[in-house]
Structure 1
Amino acid sequence: MTEDLRPDIAAAAALLPSTLGSKREIRKLIEHLWEDERVEQLSTGMYGKGNGILVRTDRRLLFLVDGWTGATSEDFPFTRISSVQWSSGMLMGTVTIFASGNKAEIKNVHKEIGKNMVDAVRATISRPAPPIYTAPPVSLSSAPSGGADVFEQLRKLGELRDAGVVTVAEFDAKKAELLARL
């Protein structure tokens, strides 16, 4: 079965102890992925009344049921997941996902795979957000007050506004200040 799959899906499927009852979902998984999304881990499980697969990608958790009469999927982007929980029994366990005020329980997840998946999701959602670049403040008050310089400063200020570096309110305030110099 893995020879017809995308390499990342085939690699994740090869690590499953059993694909019993999930081969159809694994084959159809590519239809449910976002552009350039990479599958990192798969597990079988049960969500609601459907048996399907729980997929961990580089961007989200996805639960997919693809039956004869239709397909159902629910995704949990990492940016929306506040926490995940793992509880296990002898052979199987439950992955509980808390996302955007909702709680989802995926049951009958293989014990070892479920624990690894939850640990990986925790590591992903606990990473600090990348720093947001902020431009240094623009100070035009130290420039000479000649008429030609004022128009040049207005032009540059307009470019900064158009680029989103300064707000419209900041632009209007500085524009009024510069025009008052004329």
Structure 2
Amino acid sequence: MGDVLAGFHAAWEFESDSVLIRYERGIRTPKLFQSLGERRIPLAALEGVTLTPGRRGTVVLRAEPRPGADPLIEAAAGQLKEAYDPYRLVLPAERETLAEYYADELRALLTESGPADRHLVAPPSGPLQFKAYDGKAYFDGSSVRFRWFWTGASSAKWKAGDQNFPVADLNGIEWRSPEVLEGHLRLVPRDSASERPAPPDQDPAAVVFGLGYGPVHESLPFAAAVLAAVRAKRPEAAVPIAAPAVAGRRDPAEIAERIRHLGELHQAGLVTDEEFSSKKAELLAEL
């Protein structure tokens, strides 16, 4: 079709084999959309289109993705609020006729339905790191690393030490929205199918969320990128974002981040002067 339909927070560009969704970066645009930037949705990844009345003089055009076609939707597992749905386009009611035209044109091009046997939508390109309540998570395309925070992590996680999980050793992920109680991101190792996992705050394969830690727009794209790599089973094809640190030494950026976090706790009165000085010296010694 080659046409563009602009709505609130996003614009859809209709092409012969896909829909390119470009999200705005305005202050009122949901942060998840801003994080995604733009997404190309192949028509083979869609199985339906609806047009329904919206709130306050609007109409809503929504494309229905096929189950299993989009790693972001698969990782979200039905937990996204309506306002965060990346497949919704909200338009003024006076554009209903135009929206109906595009909906009919798009429906005529859809030929697939039912679960997809692989991901058809490209995973988010970032962020590839985010801060949870008890640690920081990193993903370089081939492995996931958890670095525990001194004050936030449980004793079980400190005893286990910082973790590294090659994608080839994972069977999947479990994401629980930070906007509900006990949100977390848990990695599911391939050899743990018959084991009952520990609570997320005690599980070295999980990071837990809290107020301001692991927000949706950071943790969900991260989870989707990891899930896509696991499903592809080809970690060697992923593009790393940074060279590995020299053996026996920590990445200076990681040390700086942990010192900054320690400083925040110190300023908030959660860490004493003596604890702050002692832990800062330990971290600097790792450089």
Larger relative CO (CA 8 A, sep 6+): 1 or 2? 2
TM range (shorter): 0.3 to 0.5
- Structure with bigger helix share is 1
State the TM-score, normalizing by the size of structure 2.
0.27
State the TM-score, normalizing by the size of structure 1.
0.40
- Structure with bigger strand share is 1
